[in-house]
Amino acid sequence: MQITRRKLLFAGGAAAAFTAGMYPVLKLDAQGVAPMTSTGMKTLADKRPTLHADGIRFGAYDPHGDFTGQAGVATEHLFLPWEDVDLDSLALADAYAMERKRNVLITVEPWSWDVNWRLTSDELRRKVMRGDYDQNMQAIAARMSAMKSPLILRWGQEMEDTSGRFSWSGWNPRDYIAAYRRMVDMTRKAVPGVKVMWSPKGMDGLRAYYPGDNYADLVGLSVFGLEEYDKIEYGAPQTFTDLLRKGYGLVENFNKPVWVAELGYEGGDSYVRPWMNDVTLKQADFPKLEEVVYFNDKDVHPWPHNLGRPDWRVVRPAKV
């Protein structure tokens, strides 16, 4: 099976990545040498966020195991499709998280990671609305019910995005909300203690997709900083505060705890260092922000302006 989305424990054989000690954990602020690029000198071999003692909680999607032995990581983030997936691996993820006393955030993407199996947006919507995928969600919920870690469900993220990246994004809000509530109800029936995260991207139009207070224990956002993109789109590099402000402003009136459910940054040292410091720093502008979760992998999709697929991974490859 060709996996074209995020590779993790659910993609054949990668469960081994969740075995403790498989990957070395590098020291904070390790130094290396990297080539000069248009964004400036990159000398940081490890750009992981600084964890402040009194700061925002931190979690990670970590298929490379870079945070395996790091203290202070509150949440383990998993992505899985609801087709073509080995659900037995959830037990391994649970054991991994339990050993490290971490929560588990499970993002369920309602499609297959094999592009040859994917439906059009309208086909997927029709099948979801008539219940064709109920058994898929019920199977996931049944496995979640056996997990002992504190669980958070994040279903169908970034639903207001209109780029065409996800087959479930851009649906009529009424249909999306009905589908989202349906999946949450199934999961809560099987896992009464589960929390649910409604997780838009942070764009205009997200409010129309809000499922109601009873269906959002948490609100998630996506914040990615890419120096080259910032220069093209905004005319200058942006900080974490700059890029969080709009999305946060759109969701703060829901009066829910806010997470950055997907976080990444890449650029030269002068760009990256402020991000490293600021993403877990408590800021008066964002009083409801409780946790940031780093996406520790290469992006799955190429960015606009021929910028390719940014590598958000905190540990940069050693140069020979």
158 is catalytic: yes
Query: At residue 196, what is the residue type?
Result: V
Cβ 257 vs Cβ 39: under 8 Å:
no
Q: Is the dihedral of CA 279, 282, 288, 291 positive or negative?
A: positive
290 is catalytic: no
Q: How far apart, in whole angstroms, are the C-alpha atoms of residue 262 and residue 292? A: 7
Residue 293 main-chain phi, psi, to 5 deg = -125, 115
Cβ neighbours, 10 Å, residue 319:
10
Q: How far apart, in whole angstroms, are the C-alpha atoms of residue 311 and residue 303? A: 11
Cβ 231 vs Cβ 75: under 8 Å:
no
> Of residues 76, 109, 158, 160, which has the active-site annotation?
158
Distances (CA, A) of 108 to 6, 144, 162, 257: 12, 12, 19, 20
- The count of C-alpha atoms lying within 13 angstroms of the C-alpha of 113, restricted to the half-sphere facing its C-beta, is 22
In terms of Cβ atoms closer than 10 Å to its own Cβ (0-12, 13-18, 19+), residue 22 is exposed
> Of residues 76, 228, 262, 266, which has the active-site annotation?
262
Catalytic residues: 158, 262
